Structure 1
């Protein structure tokens, strides 16, 4: 489990916030807790964090508005939303304003810890493996900006959507890329037709990557897709 990370928790429920802060600290993390969105924003501006955990429904400034203000500063700090709201529209809005993941209350604390570990793992992989917008995927190399997928002596030029989708999968390497997040970021809407379109592009990427059996894109039931690279 990753340890020694700095987490900003913004949660207005006193008992739940205290419980969550204690759990995260027991897991080895340093946690600052703000009890509404306005305090959360000032705490964020005056600190430095590896990840943020925001409740959605809060007084003064809700979690979505807080995220918009933080993203407007150019920040790319990962943000996880916690909410009792389970409408699909709320989940979509969370991704639209710049959230990275979503947990519906009540939830198992172990699930949150696993999500945090996945984020910290990706951050470490990004430092170690990503060089000038280039990802190493088994026997493949993917250059993000020119959208070039290299394998042995061959190179495939990807379409804009193929490139954007593969980049998003690479950012979540060995972890789930939420379907809703991909649809909102790349297709700009989550509908039946855009979902079917994404399935077609996933099939294309699988075809491009099939020459290396250690590289695979798997369906994750009711969640999305995961790009795995086996050692």
Structure 2
């Protein structure tokens, strides 16, 4: 399982981000100050470190600079309220892999994390496909059309957006935090009962009439589109 280090001194933000990353299938260690963050970064193995800049004890710049001097090659994503161009350039020159300015949507953070973790796996400049298929389900983003076999699915815009989100990452659980932000543009802390309602409606059209079920609930985490034996 992918192991992430999160160094964030704001308890609410740290809990929110850690929860979302764990729901996305990652292991998360949280440090709430600079010295603890640096110690963990230098003594444990992580796939990625997410660092705030303004931290008690040691700031994020110092953590990264010290880690790089110690030959640590752990990828680093800065998350900070400091949005000056000079700050971004400084972070990247120190060896950061990306820089995300607060406030940001959790889905953007998760996308940045996944890009860093998968960097080098895809050919540069590869366009995102517009047509997806899973078993007998096809979805054409450009034509806004979905079908199971020869049956066209009559989906509302939100149902289509939800299905598109899921089919782009088949077999990968999408946390409620990501679904809420990507499809409804609302925070995970908001009332997310609307997600469950639309999931039920989508399942009624997508799965109920067919023997092979594709949309599955991962209890307490989110939803996944996949073929199960």
Length-normalised TM-score, structure 1: 0.51
Q: Residues 1-231 of structure 1 correspond to what in structure 2 (within 5 A)? A: 13-20=37-44, 22=45, 24=47, 36=53, 54=77, 63-65=79-81, 95-96=105-106, 98-100=108-110, 132-190=129-187, 194-210=191-207, 211-230=209-228
Cα 1:63–1:191 change in 2 (3 A) is closer
Q: How many residues align?
A: 164
Unaligned stretches of 5+ residues in structure 1: 3-7, 25-30, 42-50, 55-61, 70-78, 82-92, 102-114, 125-129
How far apart are 1:177 and its partner, in Å? 0.5
Over the residues paired in the alignment, what is the CA RMSD in angstroms?
4.8
Alpha-carbon distance in structure 1 between the residues aligned to 2:82 and 2:227: 35
Confirm or deny: 8 A CA contact 1:9 1:32 kept in the other structure: yes
The structure with the largest helix share of the pair is: 1
Name the CA shift for 1:34/1:142 in 2 (closer, same or farther; >3 Å): same
User: What does the per-residue CA deviation read over 1:148-178, in whole Å, with 9 as the maximum and x for residues that have no partner?
Assistant: 1122222224221111111111233212111
Q: Which runs of 5+ in 2 are unaligned?
A: 8-33, 54-59, 65-73, 86-97
Q: Could you tell me how far 1:199 is from its partner in structure 2?
A: 1.2
Q: Distance in 1 between matches of 2:188 and 2:174?
A: 17
TM-score, with structure 2 as normaliser: 0.52
Task: Measure how far apart 1:224 and its partner are.
Answer: 1.4
Larger radius of gyration, structure 1 or 2? 2
Q: CA deviation at 1:142?
A: 0.8
C-alpha distance in 1 between matches for 2:144 and 2:160: 5
- Shift of residue 65, structure 1, vs aligned partner: 4.3
Rate the CA distance shift 1:147–1:96 in 2: closer, same or farther, 3 A.
Answer: same
